[in-house]
């Protein structure tokens, strides 16, 4: 018996040794082949000069961003969102303790930092008021009484995965907020959660286009007949890529997405850089009125401000026609807004950030007597209570966020939204990667994030002595300028 066991052990060791020998031999052959390939290729200088070893340069380059994120970057250093911002969202979404100890790690002298000007007699809990619904589209056949000041910004099915859209839809219903479809059209997954829907009409008219890519009134009527669809948003521009239409890479355009959008499967979805029908202020007002008449529901526009001189002419044209002709809302996006894919020069260098453009827009509407007619929705990197409260101080009626809710779904800022390889299943159509995102679980986190963010904005409002967030004004906040001192917003951006 012992002799048999001994012989089996010898055989096992021999097999292991043989496998190791084959593995080493195979590795040497592979290395030799790769060496020869690198030495003869002409596309990569490093690999040609340093065959085989040069490949490590590309490996380290691809791994570098992940090492920086987890090991080297400080809590407040990363872009576009740092670890402190993401951690707040993760804790809020999981509905766990969101307090911190010892002191702030935020650099309070950095230009652009907001301070809220607390009063000596803050609002008591028993004196606090619930944020009221706000009517949008008073002249429409079906105006919308929006229940929440915080809502889900436009993210298309296609840019997002099926389980991500499902989780957002279910979570929005639980939170009592609206969900914007993005420009990719209306999918069954937007509707299945039962939440309020804002249908975005992008420059390609996905979901409401005819065979020539123009607006189809017939399809517009079909969409507007759905009770969940509360408003329509005409997308003029987006903060991450002003002057450029939506981009969905071809490997993300599967059969289902192609059918919803009305485009070929497997071919990149590239939207025009503007609506062909809209080439002037007059065209824009005509288009808004047409959609409003056909649907009977509130219609607004989404844009990022660059040049601001046209706003006066826009408001004057509205007043000439009558205030009923105005857009029912304007969604103002920030130059640091997000996207699934955009050219670097546009994402880095075009458009105004929200902290500059929002006061300009609100002041212009006020000057022309349209502030109470047109609701202002702020968008762009608004994922934490500080930035949301600051936007409300500067005049926003509502705030929308996309990336905040993406973090609530489990996004880890892997920066792979433009590929089909998102490791958390949020922006990929790979079934293997999608399986990690369970809509029923993430829907609760979407609702928790919404409720906790609104609660902490209310907390800031109470510290400033008002009973609810929409009572915040520019007198309640200051911003740090060059030199390290702060200036109240009502002085920096006076109401003209």
**What pLDDT, on the 0 to 100 scale, is given for residue 101?**
78
Residue linked to tokens 């890519």? 213
Q: 306: which DSSP letter? A: S
- Name the region of 423 (left: φ>0; alpha: ψ -120 to 50; beta: rest): alpha
User: In angstroms, rounded to a whole number, what is the distance separating the alpha carbons of residues 373 and 235?
Assistant: 20
User: In angstroms, rounded to a whole number, what is the distance separating the alpha carbons of residues 490 and 359?
Assistant: 10
User: In angstroms, rounded to a whole number, what is the distance separating the alpha carbons of residues 378 and 77?
Assistant: 25
Single out the residue of 441, 457, 446, 319 nearest to residue 386, CA to CA.
Answer: 457
Question: Secondary structure of 214-279 in the HEC alphabet?
Answer: CECHHHHHHHHCCCCEEEEEEECCCCCCCCCCCEECHHHCCHHHHHHHCCCCCCCEECCCCCCCCC
User: In angstroms, rounded to a whole number, what is the distance separating the alpha carbons of residues 359 and 492?
Assistant: 10
The CA-atom distances, in angstroms, between 480 and each of 103, 116, 327, 384, 489 are 19, 11, 34, 18, 10
| Paired sense of beta strands 269-270 and 247-248, if any | antiparallel
Which residues have C-beta within 8 Å of that of residue 368, sequence separation ≥ 6? Answer: 312, 315, 316, 318, 319
Q: From first to last of its 496 residues, what are the pLDDT tens digits of the chain?
A: 566 776 667 777 888 888 888 888 888 888 888 888 888 888 777 777 878 877 777 666 666 666 666 655 556 667 777 778 888 888 999 999 888 777 787 878 889 899 999 999 999 988 888 889 999 999 999 999 999 999 999 999 988 999 999 999 999 999 999 999 999 999 999 999 999 999 999 999 999 998 888 999 999 999 999 999 999 999 999 877 777 777 788 878 888 888 888 888 888 888 888 899 999 999 999 999 999 999 999 999 999 999 888 999 999 999 999 999 999 999 999 988 877 667 777 777 788 999 999 999 999 999 999 999 999 999 989 999 999 999 999 999 999 999 999 999 988 888 888 788 888 899 898 888 888 899 999 999 999 999 999 999 999 999 999 999 999 999 999 999 988 889 999 999 997 6
User: In angstroms, rounded to a whole number, what is the distance separating the alpha carbons of residues 157 and 190?
Assistant: 8
Tokens at residue 491, please? 């002085």
Say what angle helices 439-463 and 83-94 make with each other, to 10 degrees.
Answer: 110
**What pLDDT, on the 0 to 100 scale, is given for residue 439?**
93
**What pLDDT, on the 0 to 100 scale, is given for residue 85?**
85
**What pLDDT, on the 0 to 100 scale, is given for residue 60?**
65
Q: 469: which DSSP letter? A: G
Dihedral, CA of residue 152, residue 158, residue 162 and residue 167, to nearest 10? -10
User: In angstroms, rounded to a whole number, what is the distance separating the alpha carbons of residues 390 and 164?
Assistant: 29
**What pLDDT, on the 0 to 100 scale, is given for residue 75?**
62
User: Cβ atoms within 10 A of the Cβ of 338, count?
Assistant: 25
**What pLDDT, on the 0 to 100 scale, is given for residue 93?**
93
User: Cβ atoms within 10 A of the Cβ of 412, count?
Assistant: 17
Q: Is 353 exposed, middle or buried (0-12, 13-18, 19+ CB in 10 A)?
A: middle
Q: 289: which DSSP letter? A: H
One-character DSSP codes across 90-109: HHHHHT------S---S-TT
User: In angstroms, rounded to a whole number, what is the distance separating the alpha carbons of residues 443 and 447?
Assistant: 6
Which spans in 241-399 are helix H? 255-261, 281-295, 310-321, 344-349, 354-367, 385-393
H or E element that contains 52: none
Can you point out the beta strands (E) in 21-175?
A: 114-116, 134-136, 144-146, 150-152
User: Cβ atoms within 10 A of the Cβ of 72, count?
Assistant: 10
Single out the residue of 308, 290, 312 nearest to residue 369, CA to CA.
Answer: 312
**What pLDDT, on the 0 to 100 scale, is given for residue 436?**
87
**What pLDDT, on the 0 to 100 scale, is given for residue 246?**
78
**What pLDDT, on the 0 to 100 scale, is given for residue 64?**
63
Evaluate if pTM is beyond 0.75. yes
**What pLDDT, on the 0 to 100 scale, is given for residue 66?**
62
């Amino acid at each position: 018996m012992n002799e048999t066991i001994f012989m089996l052990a010898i055989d096992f060791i021999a097999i292991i040794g043989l496998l190791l020998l084959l593995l080493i031999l195979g590795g040497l052959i592979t290395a030799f082949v790769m060496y020869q390939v690198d030495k003869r290729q002409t596309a990569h200088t490093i690999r040609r000069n340093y065959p085989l070893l040069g490949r490590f340069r590309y490996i380290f380059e691809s791994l570098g961003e992940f090492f920086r994120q987890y090991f080297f970057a400080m809590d407040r250093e990363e872009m576009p969102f740092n670890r402190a911002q993401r951690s707040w969202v993760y804790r809020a979404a999981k509905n766990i303790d969101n307090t911190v100890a010892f002191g702030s790690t935020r650099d309070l002298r950095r230009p652009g930092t907001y301070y809220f000007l607390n009063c000596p007699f803050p609002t008591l809990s028993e004196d606090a008021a619930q944020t009221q619904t706000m009517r949008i589209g008073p002249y429409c056949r079906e105006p919308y009484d929006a229940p929440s000041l915080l809502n889900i910004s436009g993210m298309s099915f296609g840019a997002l995965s099926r389980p991500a859209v499902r989780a957002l839809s279910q979570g929005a219903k639980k939170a009592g907020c609206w969900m914007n479809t993005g420009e990719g059209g209306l999918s069954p997954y937007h509707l299945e959660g039962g939440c309020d829907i804002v249908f975005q009409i992008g420059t390609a008219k996905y979901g409401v286009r005819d065979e020539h890519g123009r607006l189809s009134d017939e399809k517009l009527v079909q969409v507007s007949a759905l009770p969940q669809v509360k408003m329509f948003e005409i997308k003029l521009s987006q903060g991450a890529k002003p002057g450029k239409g939506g981009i969905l890479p071809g490997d993300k355009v599967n059969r289902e997405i192609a059918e919803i959008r009305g485009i070929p499967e497997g071919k990149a979805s590239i939207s025009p850089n503007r609506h062909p029908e809209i080439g002037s202020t007059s065209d824009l007002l005509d288009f808004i009125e047409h959609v409003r008449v056909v649907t009977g529901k509130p219609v607004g526009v989404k844009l990022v401000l660059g040049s601001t001189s046209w706003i006066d002419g826009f408001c004057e044209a509205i007043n000439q026609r009558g205030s009923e002709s105005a857009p029912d809302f304007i969604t103002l996006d920030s130059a640091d807004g997000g996207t699934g894919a955009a050219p670097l020069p546009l994402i880095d260098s075009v458009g105004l950030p929200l902290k500059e453009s929002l006061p300009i827009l609100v002041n212009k509407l006020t000057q022309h007597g349209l502030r109470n007619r047109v609701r202002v929705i702020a968008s762009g990197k608004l994922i934490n209570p500080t930035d949301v409260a600051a936007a409300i101080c500067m005049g926003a009626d509502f705030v929308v966020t996309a990336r905040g809710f993406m973090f609530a779904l489990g996004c880890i800022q892997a920066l792979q939204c433009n590929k089909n390889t998102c490791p958390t299943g949020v922006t990929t159509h790979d079934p293997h990667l999608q399986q990690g995102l369970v809509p029923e679980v993430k829907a609760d986190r979407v609702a928790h994030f919404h409720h906790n963010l609104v609660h902490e904005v209310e907390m800031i409002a109470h510290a400033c002595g008002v009973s609810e967030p929409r009572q915040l004004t520019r007198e309640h906040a200051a911003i740090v300028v060059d030199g390290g001192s702060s200036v109240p917003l009502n002085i920096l951006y006076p109401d003209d």
